[in-house]
């Protein structure tokens, strides 16, 4: 197995880990934060579960740095700017994950204080509920937009280099743009359009399987490469 193929296979495995971990964080471990009657009542009884979700979320986002490290020699050989952009965005993603998950743990802390508070103190904590939740939510939206930008650069690079079938790279570019649009909706006072996230989920799964089976494929250089 050559270095090019090995890098692709490792990236495929990391993408699968991200997808599984992302499902666990968003729909299992941190689910109590978003269910009725709200995080003030729900977070404290599930504090350890949510803390595990925050740590797992941090690890999942840190895997972008691992993907960037594995992809860097492949990208840098023929498209240095995209290699540098992808690595820089991976670092920004990790920083954003720290901010977002600090916000998650702040929600837990406020919920624990709410559980121990008197009726008067609970009324006071109700007034900061929106502030605490909004701090986490806006960090989340910005982090997912940065994810989308990193994915866009990744697929633009693999499309240009043709190290996976170009139909997959082209689909990835379109799907990444759709994700960015979907998670940018709250900036325009609209809800996230979850239907626009589906193409990227499908694309990531197909590309991950392709990479695990085939790895990156070498392509002959052309005059325009």
**124-154 pLDDT, tens digit each:** 999 999 999 999 999 999 999 999 999 999 9
Confidence class for position 224, pLDDT limits 50, 70, 90: very low
Cβ atoms of 91 and 65 within 8 Å: the answer is yes
DSSP designation for 224: T
Asked if pLDDT for residue 78 goes beyond 90, the answer is no
Contacts of 81 (CB under 8 A, 6+ apart): none
| Residue 130: half-sphere exposure toward Cβ, Cα within 13 Å | 2
Contacts of 47 (CB under 8 A, 6+ apart): 108, 111, 112
Percent of the chain whose predicted confidence (pLDDT) is above 70: 96
The pLDDT of residue 207: 98
Each residue of 172-211: pLDDT tens digit? 999 999 999 999 999 999 999 999 999 999 999 999 999 9
pLDDT (mean) for 98-105: 98
Per-domain residue ranges of the chain: 3-214
Alpha-carbon span 60 to 219, nearest angstrom: 31
Asked if pLDDT for residue 157 goes beyond 90, the answer is yes
Candidates 105, 94, 85, 93; CA nearest to 30 is: 105
Each residue of 9-55: pLDDT tens digit? 999 999 999 999 999 999 999 999 999 999 999 999 999 999 999 99
The pLDDT of residue 201: 97
The pLDDT of residue 50: 98
Asked if pLDDT for residue 60 goes beyond 70, the answer is yes
Alpha-carbon span 210 to 219, nearest angstrom: 16
Q: Left, alpha or beta for 162 (phi > 0: left; psi -120 to 50: alpha)?
A: left
Asked if pLDDT for residue 222 goes beyond 90, the answer is no
The pLDDT of residue 219: 67
């Amino acid at each position: 197995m050559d270095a090019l193929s090995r890098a692709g296979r490792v990236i495929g495995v990391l993408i699968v880990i991200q997808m599984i971990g992302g499902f666990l964080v968003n729909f299992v471990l941190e689910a109590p934060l978003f269910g009725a009657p709200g995080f003030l009542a729900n977070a404290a009884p599930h504090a350890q579960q949510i803390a595990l979700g925050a740590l797992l979320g941090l690890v999942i986002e840190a895997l972008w740095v691992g993907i960037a490290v594995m992809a860097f020699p492949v990208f840098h050989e023929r498209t240095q700017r995209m290699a540098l952009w992808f690595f820089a965005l991976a670092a920004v993603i990790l920083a954003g994950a720290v901010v977002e998950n600090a916000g998650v743990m702040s929600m837990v802390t406020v919920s624990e204080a709410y559980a121990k508070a008197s009726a008067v103190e609970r009324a006071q904590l109700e007034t900061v509920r929106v502030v605490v939740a909004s701090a986490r939510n806006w960090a989340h939206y910005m982090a997912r937009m940065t994810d989308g930008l990193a994915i866009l650069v990744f697929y633009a690079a693999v499309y240009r280099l043709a190290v996976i079938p170009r139909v997959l790279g082209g689909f990835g570019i379109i799907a990444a743009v759709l994700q960015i649009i979907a998670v940018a909706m709250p900036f325009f006072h609209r809800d996230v359009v979850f239907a626009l996230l589906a193409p990227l989920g499908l694309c990531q799964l197909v590309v991950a399987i392709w990479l695990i089976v085939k790895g990156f494929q070498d392509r002959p250089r052309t005059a325009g490469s």
